[in-house]
Amino acid sequence: MASKDKKHRAMGDEEWMSRLRRTLVWIPLHHTWATTTQANFDFGLTHPTPDAEPLAAHLMSAAAVAASQPGWLPAKLRTTVPPQDQKWIAAALWKNKRLRSDLMLWYNPPLPAIIYHQVPAPERFFTHRLLVWMPYHLWKVRLSCPACRKQLTGYGAHKRARKVLDVDNYYLMITETLWCNACKIAYISSSKTILDQLDMPTRMEFTPILTQRYACDIRVIVSLRDRTQGNSPSRLVRQLRENHSREWIRSGTVLNAYTLQTGNPCSLSCSRRCQSRQLSPLTGGC
């Protein structure tokens, strides 16, 4: 499906930061866009538009500080986990540099705080869900080496995290390495060799479809099954772009609303403005 001229790949960290930089500058400058969405987000009415350049610079420096303190991750894994996800994944999966014993299959990233007293760092608004596919570590499934039939043992997290295309976002997947002491061969828990050894209920929990370079969730493929007229791969690509763009704009809009809110007290005098601001920062006050 992929060609040399047209590469479909997961968004890299450099592209992510580039998009974030454009978003942070673009939204405050184009006040027209903000006002056209007042039906849903009324923040443009009550807060003055801040100077965009210092705001963007501040947010970028905050992101850099957060990325410099990512918590402990295996060194090779850190190169494939986006910077904004490193800190919470490190805390959720590792303790004293060892995988926690009480891991779960799915993790949702921490939500942004309800109230910010300072301009928030942007990374909390662009995090990803996480699939921890470690059948041996999670459920102590007995897995055997296809060559010698001896039992495989856990060898820790695999060095590469995968970005999996979902219908409206990407999620991350971290797998484990399984080791055969007799053959001295390592297997990845997401490989067909391992998946084929799982019972059906456990196997069904694994929703990504993998190729050498790419990964997408089964939900993306299911949406192609309806072979009615016009339901083509091109249409699916357009729909995915639409869904992903909408989710990206939503995250950027929420971040922008919090950013405009901090340091800009509500312009209306109302005795219940504090409660209102806490409950709904997007409304811009009372």
| Binding map of Zn ion across residues 12-31, x = CB under 5 A, - = no contact | --------------------
- 54-62, long-range: CB < 8 A, 24+ apart: 55/24, 55/28, 55/119, 55/259, 56/21, 56/24, 56/25, 58/119, 59/20, 59/24, 59/119, 59/121, 59/122, 59/259, 60/17, 60/20, 60/21, 60/24, 62/119, 62/120, 62/121, 62/122
Query: Tokens representing 183?
Result: 């053959």
Q: Which of 79, 60, 58 is nearest to 70 (CA)?
A: 79
Among 148, 221, 222, 237, contact with Zn ion (rule: CB under 5 A):
148
Kindly state the smallest distance separating residue 179's Cβ from Zn ion, in Å: 9
C-alpha closest to that of 170 among 117, 214, 224, 113: 214
Number of residues that bind Zn ion (CB under 5 A): 6
Give the range of 29-37, 66-74, 182-190, 249-257 binding Zn ion by CB under 5 A: 182-190
Instruction: Select from 38-46, 62-70, 142-150, 251-259 the region that touches Zn ion (CB under 5 A).
Output: 142-150
| Cα-based angle 133, 135, 138 (whole degrees, multiple of 5) | 95
Q: In this complex, which beta carbon is closest to Zn ion, that of residue 114 or of residue 182? A: 182
Q: Does 180 bind Zn ion (CB under 5 A)?
A: yes
**Choices 26-34, 145-153, 154-162, 190-198 (CB under 5 A): range interacting with Zn ion:** 145-153
d(CA 231, CA 181): 49
CB of 156 to Zn ion, least distance (A): 18
> Is there binding between residue 147 and Zn ion (CB under 5 A)?
yes
Residue 105 · residue 129 · CB < 8 Å: no
Please answer whether residues 135 and 141 qualify as being in contact, where contact means their C-beta atoms are separated by less than 8 angstroms.
yes
145 near Zn ion (CB under 5 A): yes
**Residue 181 or 232 having the CB closest to Zn ion:** 181
- Of 45, 57, 64, 182, the one binding Zn ion (CB under 5 A) is 182
Which of 10, 91, 103, 183 is close enough to bind Zn ion by CB under 5 A?
183
Per-residue tokens: 62: 């905050």
Q: Is 114 in the site for Zn ion (CB under 5 A)?
A: no
Which of 182, 218 has the CB closer to Zn ion?
182
Interacting residues toward Zn ion by CB under 5 A: 145, 147-148, 180, 182-183
